[in-house]
């Protein structure tokens, strides 16, 4: 039986209360808690526990609850869909997992809703500045369709693993469907021989950042 | 760490999926298992013999991973040997802890 939302919210609230930049937390509803910070304004967090965050889940909660600055989805494997991301943006909320919520706290932003995950911000900036990229669409939090000038579009999955294994490659394929490239966003990341073989068998390449930029310029 | 409800859920999931006694070795690593006050995720490593088992492990732990912020890393024995991950990340054997707790 799934845990009640209140239990999940309390667990996340207690965990966040133990971070150094936080003065305390208070659970304010079964789905929300308030974060009091030592040297910045307090803010409200909405807690979800979904395999896929979609607008149909997010919109009713955000419409019914007092304003929140951050929507956190607890499962590490949880996926933010395009509609879920759009709903968060529409309601002017930052979003992510617990790691991103902690990162938002450590960024010491006065307005936490301005937080953008550094991994995505870095990749999007690189795509915007690339002379062979016309535009891109974010299909999931970790998936981009990159449209190129005069060349076929490429579907790219971001994985931030320290050790990319064959199982990661196969799971990404199952989770996101066909794609062309795994962009390895961990600067210290490597891939195993089996991961390379698994990718090759699916006609996928796993590339670090610099090689990825080069690939974007190649037909 | 052991007082956190997630820890018992992890041990229960490993036990009930009937994989712990087979050819799967379970480990914990990262901030949760090193006893940090707060943590952004819970790092689990499963090492198994075959590629087929990697898929079975992912499927059998889906419920656990759907409720907690679990980062589940699944390696074959050859990948674990190639990367030396268990030693380099100071992984803690959960199979041993599980046996110790009875």
- Categorize the per-residue pLDDT at B21 as very low, low, confident or very high, splitting at 50, 70 and 90: low
Distance (Å, whole) CA B7 – CA B1: 7
Q: pLDDT tens-digit profile of A68-108?
A: 999 999 999 999 999 999 999 999 999 999 999 999 999 88
Q: Are A37 and A23 in contact (CB under 8 A)?
A: yes
- Which one has a higher pLDDT value, A2 or A34? A34
The answer, yes or no, to whether residue B101 has pLDDT greater than 80, is no
Q: Of A99, A116, A133, which marks where a domain is finished?
A: A116
- Which one has a higher pLDDT value, B73 or A20? B73
The bridge status of strand A163-164 relative to strand A190-191 is: parallel
Q: pLDDT tens-digit profile of A38-56?
A: 999 999 999 999 999 999 9
Structural domain for A183, as ranges:
119-216
Residues of chain B contacting residue A74, judged by C-beta atoms under 8 Å apart: 67-69
In chain B, what percentage of residues exceed pLDDT 70? 86
Q: Would you call B77 an interface residue with chain A, using a CB distance cutoff of 8 Å?
A: no
Q: Are A189 and A160 in contact (CB under 8 A)?
A: yes
A125 and A105 within one domain: no
Q: List chain B domain ranges.
A: 5-101
A128 and A150 within one domain: yes
What is the model's pLDDT at position B15? 84
Per-residue pLDDT averaged across A177-193, rounded?
97
What is the model's pLDDT at position B16? 81
Q: Are B75 and B81 in contact (CB under 8 A)?
A: no
Q: 């915007």: which residue's tokens?
A: A128
- Best probe of the A interface among B6, B40, B43, B74, by most A CBs < 10 A, is B40
A126 and A92 within one domain: no
Per-residue pLDDT averaged across A189-194, rounded?
96
Q: Would you call A163 an interface residue with chain B, using a CB distance cutoff of 8 Å?
A: yes
CA geometry: angle at A80 spanning A77 and A81, to 5°?
A: 130
Options 1.10.10, 3.30.460, 3.30.420, 1.10.3470; CATH of B5-101: 3.30.460
What is the model's pLDDT at position B35? 86
Q: pLDDT tens-digit profile of A114-148?
A: 999 999 999 999 999 999 999 999 999 999 999 99
What is the model's pLDDT at position B36? 87
Domain total of chain A? 2
What is the model's pLDDT at position B17? 76
- Categorize the per-residue pLDDT at B97 as very low, low, confident or very high, splitting at 50, 70 and 90: low
Tell me the whole-structure pTM to 2 decimals. Answer: 0.93
Residues of chain A contacting residue B73, judged by C-beta atoms under 8 Å apart: 161, 163, 165
Q: Of A116, A146, A166, which marks where a domain is finished?
A: A116
Residues of chain A contacting residue B38, judged by C-beta atoms under 8 Å apart: 15-16, 18-19, 102
A101 and A80 within one domain: yes
| Residue of chain A nearest B85, judged by CA positions | A163
CB contact under 8 A, A167 and B58: yes
Q: What is the ipTM of this complex?
A: 0.91
């Amino acid at each position: 039986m799934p845990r009640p939302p209140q239990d999940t919210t309390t667990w996340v609230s207690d965990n966040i209360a133990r971070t150094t930049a936080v003065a305390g937390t208070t659970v304010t509803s079964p789905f929300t808690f308030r974060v009091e910070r030592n040297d910045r304004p307090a803010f409200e967090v909405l807690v979800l526990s979904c395999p896929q965050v979609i607008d149909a889940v997010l919109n009713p909660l955000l419409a019914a609850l007092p304003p929140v600055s951050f929507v956190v989805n607890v499962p590490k494997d949880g996926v933010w869909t395009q509609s879920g991301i759009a709903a968060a943006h529409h309601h002017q909320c930052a979003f992510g997992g617990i790691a991103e919520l902690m990162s938002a706290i450590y960024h010491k932003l006065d307005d936490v809703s301005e937080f953008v995950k550094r991994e995505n911000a870095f990749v999007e900036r690189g795509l915007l500045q690339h002379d062979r990229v016309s535009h891109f669409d974010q299909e999931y939090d970790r998936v981009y369709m990159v449209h190129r000038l005069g060349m076929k579009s490429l579907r790219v999955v971001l994985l931030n693993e320290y050790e990319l294994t064959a199982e990661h490659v196969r799971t990404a394929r199952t989770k996101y469907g066909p794609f062309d490239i795994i962009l390895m966003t961990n600067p210290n990341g490597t891939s195993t021989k089996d991961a390379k073989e698994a990718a090759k068998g699916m006609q996928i390449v796993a590339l670090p950042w610099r090689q990825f930029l080069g690939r974007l310029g190649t037909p | 760490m052991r007082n956190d409800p997630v820890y018992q859920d992890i041990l229960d999931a490993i036990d009930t999926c009937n994989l712990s006694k087979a050819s799967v070795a379970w480990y914990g690593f990262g901030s949760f298992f090193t006893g940090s006050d707060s943590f952004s995720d819970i790092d689990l490593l499963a090492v198994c013999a075959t590629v087929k088992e990697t898929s079975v492990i992912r499927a059998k732990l889906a419920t656990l991973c759907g409720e907690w912020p679990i980062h589940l890393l699944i390696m074959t024995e050859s990948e674990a040997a190639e990367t030396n991950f268990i030693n380099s990340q100071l992984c803690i054997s959960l199979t041993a802890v599980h046996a110790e707790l009875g």
